[in-house]
């Protein structure tokens, strides 16, 4: 969409597309630049249909659990919920060194973190495009994106929420007509240990549907975190209160 929060994506960007499988995943993606997450370096990620990017192994679990998960699985959850891309939508991803895209990402991150100017040298862009929920008997779809990026010294992840119309699949006790109720989606970061994690406010509550209006960088629908040595960027409390009344 024009004027969108989303960075360019789709077949014309030469994105890969995930297979149409409920609880499916991408193939193992070997990163051309190792990515540091909570102090550990990883070279393999999976873009999982259920709204998760995981390190080293896929995540097929469809009902989210609150972080921390202490079973050692490190992953990033832009919007962890029971996606069913057989019923609708596509999941795209690519690694890129495209200069125009990297310039946009660098500009955005430097704007949010002006004390540490950033020049991206690589990014992985994963986009869930109008994806349906499991058991859906509606036309509802969610569109959101996660971007991993680095200048080879510091590592950031950007979450972009463009259109969120549902929170829950039918197997998570959600309503098949509305995609609401039950156990709502979870957004955040899980290191794999029991001390390092972050839950985006509203996760696993009905308020998560409003994530397109919330932010930690004063851009509604965008959340940005430095993740190599994970740092929480404080959310502006009035903004949250205004949005969630």
- Establish if 213 belongs to a structural domain: yes
In the prediction, which pLDDT does 105 show?
98
pLDDT band at 234 (very low <50, low <70, confident <90, very high): low
Q: Could you report how far apart the first and last alpha carbons of the chain are, in Å?
A: 28
Percent of the chain with pLDDT over 70: 94
pLDDT of residue 74 exceeding 50, the answer is: yes
- Report pLDDT digits (tens) over 93-116: 999 999 999 999 999 999 999 999
- Establish if 238 belongs to a structural domain: no
Q: DSSP of 130-193, one letter per residue?
A: EE-BTT--S---EEEEEEEEESSSSEEEEEEEEE------GGGTB-TTTS-BSS--EEEEE-SS
Token digits for 71? 């079973």
pLDDT band at 236 (very low <50, low <70, confident <90, very high): low
In the prediction, which pLDDT does 134 show?
97
Chain mean pLDDT for the chain: 93
pLDDT of residue 215 exceeding 90, the answer is: yes
- Report pLDDT digits (tens) over 158-168: 999 999 999 99
Phi, psi of 50 (to 5 degrees): -80, 30
Q: CA angle at residue 235 from 209 to 168, to 5 degrees?
A: 20
In the prediction, which pLDDT does 201 show?
95
- Domain hosting residue 185, numbered range: 27-226
- Establish if 12 belongs to a structural domain: no
- Establish if 232 belongs to a structural domain: no
- Report pLDDT digits (tens) over 167-179: 999 999 999 999 9
- Establish if 13 belongs to a structural domain: no
- Establish if 202 belongs to a structural domain: yes
In terms of Cα–Cα distance, which of 194, 206, 110 is closest to 158?
110
The rounded distance, in Å, linking the Cα atoms of 200 and 187 is 5
In the prediction, which pLDDT does 245 show?
39
Domain count, the chain: 1
DSSP code, position 64 = -
In the prediction, which pLDDT does 223 show?
97
pLDDT of residue 238 exceeding 70, the answer is: no
Token digits for 239? 């903004």
- Establish if 46 belongs to a structural domain: yes
CB neighbour class for 148 (10 Å; exposed up to 12, middle 13-18, buried from 19): buried
In terms of Cα–Cα distance, which of 124, 160, 102, 152 is closest to 45?
124
In the prediction, which pLDDT does 3 show?
58
- Predicted model pTM: 0.94
- Establish if 151 belongs to a structural domain: yes
Contact between 127 and 99 (Cβ < 8 Å): no
Contact between 162 and 5 (Cβ < 8 Å): yes
pLDDT band at 241 (very low <50, low <70, confident <90, very high): very low
Please, which residues have CB within 8 angstroms of residue 211's CB and are 6 or more apart in sequence? 79, 161, 164, 187, 200, 202, 221
pLDDT band at 70 (very low <50, low <70, confident <90, very high): confident
């Amino acid at each position: 969409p024009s004027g969108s929060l989303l960075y360019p994506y789709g077949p014309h960007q030469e994105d890969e597309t995930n297979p149409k499988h409920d609880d499916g995943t991408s193939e193992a993606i070997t990163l051309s630049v190792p990515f540091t997450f909570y102090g550990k370096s990883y070279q393999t990620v999976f873009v999982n249909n259920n709204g998760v990017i995981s390190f080293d192994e896929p995540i097929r679990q469809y009902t989210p659990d609150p972080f921390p998960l202490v079973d050692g699985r490190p992953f990033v959850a832009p919007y962890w919920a029971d996606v069913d891309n057989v019923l609708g939508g596509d999941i795209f991803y690519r690694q890129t060194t495209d200069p125009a895209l990297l310039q946009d990402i660098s500009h955005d991150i430097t704007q949010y973190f002006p004390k540490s100017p950033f020049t991206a040298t690589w990014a992985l862009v994963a986009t869930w495009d109008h994806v349906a929920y499991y058991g859906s008997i509606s036309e509802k779809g969610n569109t959101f994106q996660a971007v991993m990026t680095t200048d080879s010294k510091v590592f950031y992840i950007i979450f972009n929420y463009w259109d969120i119309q549902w929170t829950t699949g039918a197997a998570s006790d959600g309503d098949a007509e509305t995609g609401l109720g039950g156990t709502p989606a979870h957004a955040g970061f899980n290191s794999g240990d029991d001390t390092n994690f972050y839950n985006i406010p509203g996760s696993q509550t009905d308020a998560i549907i409003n994530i397109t209006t919330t932010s930690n960088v004063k851009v509604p629908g965008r959340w940005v975190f430095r993740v190599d040595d994970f740092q929480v960027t404080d959310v502006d409390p009035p903004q949250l209160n205004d949005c969630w009344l």
